Structure 1
Amino acid sequence: MKELRDLDLNLLKLLQAVVETRNTHQAADKLGISQTSVSRGLAKLRETFGDQLFIRKAHGVEPSELAEKLAEAADEMFTPLVKVVESYQNFDPQQFKGEVSIAMNIFMLEQWGDGIFSALSEALPAASFKLVYWQEQSLNEILNGQIDYLLLFSQFQLPQEIYQHHLKEIKLSLIARKDHPVLSKSTALEDIHHLPITRILADGINSKRAPVEDFYLARGYKANIVLTTHSIRVLLNKLKHSDALSFGSTLVTENEPELSCYPLPTIPKEMRTIQINGGYLQSKRGFPLNQLLHQTIQNFFDKMIQPEK
């Protein structure tokens, strides 16, 4: 069997046509080439794959099992190539009818998923969408092309195969119920270290100890974490009905009149903000679809104004 790397891709098209028609004359008509060209092509295919690739019959040829398998493989090979070409030459956001898959941290999905979906639907009105939260298998899914775009906090470590860009920096503060008996007077750590703490789980970032726990330990205190959850609703409900606090952003309390934001205690600079990154495969940086997703989601976050309090 000759080296496959040297095989002319046009021969695979010929093989597909002969397998489909089971007749060299019909294959020639289908491809718009001469019968002589078909015969030469079949000879080259037999050189590469063996003489039994096609068996001559009275009224045509019968493809071997290998020929049929090769035709299937050729089809699978040409399909992604066609998609790449179409994505460059024929991409029309208004007409695009494919599925777009976005994975994001579950906090972002709960907090901004509706707004992101609206922005994407406006940009790609004929597309279907899959908005999912980031899970253990999500990294493999983006690497093999099943996920088109991701949204994660910058602390999440990603391989070099994924292109990342900064979308938004969020200022943090203390969140607790309005007129909190302690925080309304002081937010110094020595005055608030005993208060119960709630926190959102950020998959892929949080280890056994959250950054706030390490911060408290470094100052000689033990963080009293009473609730760890994926659900913003559960966390906010706990804050409304107790003296618990959370390290979060004013964006969380924007439509929550029962809650207030209070100044952070003196903490390291890196704990005062959190950065949101978007990303997709490096190999897709030139794809019009991925560029549109990047632009649309960037515009969404650019329009987001974080309240001061």
Structure 2
Amino acid sequence: MKQFDLNLLRYLRVIAAYRSPSAIIRRLDVSRSTLSRGLSQLREHFGNEMFVLSNGVYEPTSFTKLLIKRVEQPLMEVERCLGLAQTELLADMEGNIHLYCPSYLDEHLVVGLVQGLRQQDSHLKLVSYPWPADSFPDLNSSKFGIGINRFPFNIDSNYVQRRLGSVTMGVYLNRASSLAALESIDVVKLKGCKFAALNTGANVDVQDEARCREMGIDIHVDISLSSMRAALRCVEELDYMVVSADIFNRGNAMNLTWRPLTLDGQPVEYEYGFVYHRAWYQHPAMKSMESIIRRCYRDITRQYSCAGA
């Protein structure tokens, strides 16, 4: 049997119900030529005229009337199933939502994400993982998951990526440092300074030397630590620096400050984005997650940009 486009059965029902060519085109949201092509395919497949245009309306043939009766119920069931796929919200889903990101972002995102899920009446359990040091996260088609890291991602067509925005990179440094007297620091002035960084399992995208060089920051990492809190203590109590956006609450750290970096007189910017499997593209639940993540990102960057140095 010749392969048949099941979408043509929808044409069949709409043409029979609306009759007028203009009304049919509006309902199907297609052009007149597309409607004509669909009719031709129906006629060719069934070997029947299917509809006769009379006085400006389509009249179904006897065969078409019989065919519509036969396909009406199964077609309604198919459309009901398709409708479920388009209306499944976060509140309807069960199981886990998997988040992959550098640990320093996880500190800021988790509370906002959980609040966003609660606002959607979602019972999904948030499971957070550090971004893999030497590989890509396990974002497969069966897993409701999302990854957040440096944008753009080097991915294939199985994944969808979206830009979140950019942040200004800078350095955390001790207030006693001579560089702390500057409003901004040119990257060339970092030569010879001692740096603390997070290990690759915690932060593979900002602190490691290769990534910093990509942004024009030539540094040498002297110590590698497991948390940003530990790294900032080394800045406050020792004479180390940490390259990062200013997204960490310095609280009562009297000896700690932050200064933006410049390269050739321009701010050093860092792009963030998120990525997920294409199987979840345009899924209502993923659309809701996109909104939650964007709101969290805006809140984080707004909070610390307003805090100042």
Same fold (TM over 0.5): yes
Structure 2 CA distance, aligned partners of 1:247 and 1:207? Answer: 9
Partner letter of residue 110 of structure 1?
A: E
1:162 aligns with 2:159: yes
Shift in CA distance, 213/137, structure 1 to aligned 2, threshold 3 Å? closer
Partner of 1:227: 223
Select which of 107, 122, 127 maps to 1:125.
122
| Larger deviation, residues 249-258 vs 292-301 | 249-258
Partner of 1:98: 95
Contact between 1:105 and 1:153, CA under 8 Å: does it hold in 2?
A: no
Secondary structure of residue in 1 paired with 2:160: strand
Partner of 1:21: none
Secondary structure of residue in 2 paired with 1:195: coil
Structure 1 CA distance, aligned partners of 2:226 and 2:90? Answer: 34
Partner of 2:287: 291
The Cα shift of 1:297 comes to: 1.0
The Cα shift of 1:241 comes to: 0.9
Structure 2 CA distance, aligned partners of 1:286 and 1:214? Answer: 33
1:211 aligns with 2:207: no
Secondary structure of residue in 2 paired with 1:139: coil
TM norm structure 1:
0.60
Contact between 1:103 and 1:134, CA under 8 Å: does it hold in 2?
A: yes
Partner of 2:70: none
Secondary structure of residue in 2 paired with 1:172: strand
Secondary structure of residue in 2 paired with 1:126: coil
Shift in CA distance, 206/155, structure 1 to aligned 2, threshold 3 Å? farther
Partner letter of residue 268 of structure 2?
A: R
Partner of 2:139: 142
Shift in CA distance, 83/110, structure 1 to aligned 2, threshold 3 Å? farther
Shift in CA distance, 170/255, structure 1 to aligned 2, threshold 3 Å? farther
Partner letter of residue 209 of structure 1?
A: A
Structure 1 CA distance, aligned partners of 2:149 and 2:252? Answer: 24
Shift in CA distance, 283/137, structure 1 to aligned 2, threshold 3 Å? farther
Pairing 1:224-303 to 2, within 5 Å after superposition? 224-255=220-251, 257-258=253-254, 259-266=256-263, 272-303=268-299
Shift in CA distance, 98/182, structure 1 to aligned 2, threshold 3 Å? same
Select which of 86, 89, 95 maps to 1:88.
86
Shift in CA distance, 208/167, structure 1 to aligned 2, threshold 3 Å? closer
Select which of 93, 104, 109 maps to 1:107.
104
| Larger deviation, residues 258-267 vs 184-193 | 184-193
Secondary structure of residue in 2 paired with 1:107: helix
Number of aligned residues? 223
Secondary structure of residue in 2 paired with 1:291: helix
Partner of 1:193: 191
| Larger deviation, residues 283-292 vs 197-206 | 197-206
Structure 2 CA distance, aligned partners of 1:299 and 1:233? Answer: 25
Shift in CA distance, 191/105, structure 1 to aligned 2, threshold 3 Å? closer
Shift in CA distance, 233/216, structure 1 to aligned 2, threshold 3 Å? closer
Contact between 1:107 and 1:232, CA under 8 Å: does it hold in 2?
A: yes
Percent identity of paired positions between Structure 1 and Structure 2: 9
Q: Which runs of 5+ in 1 are unaligned?
A: 7-81, 218-222
Q: Cα deviations across residues 51-100 of structure 1 (Å, max 9, x unaligned)?
A: xxxxxxxxxxxxxxxxxxxxxxxxxxxxxxx99764424x2433433322
Shift in CA distance, 113/84, structure 1 to aligned 2, threshold 3 Å? farther
Secondary structure of residue in 2 paired with 1:183: helix
Shift in CA distance, 108/283, structure 1 to aligned 2, threshold 3 Å? same
Shift in CA distance, 284/277, structure 1 to aligned 2, threshold 3 Å? same
Contact between 2:101 and 2:130, CA under 8 Å: does it hold in 1?
A: yes
Structure 2 CA distance, aligned partners of 1:207 and 1:244? Answer: 15
Contact between 1:110 and 1:232, CA under 8 Å: does it hold in 2?
A: no
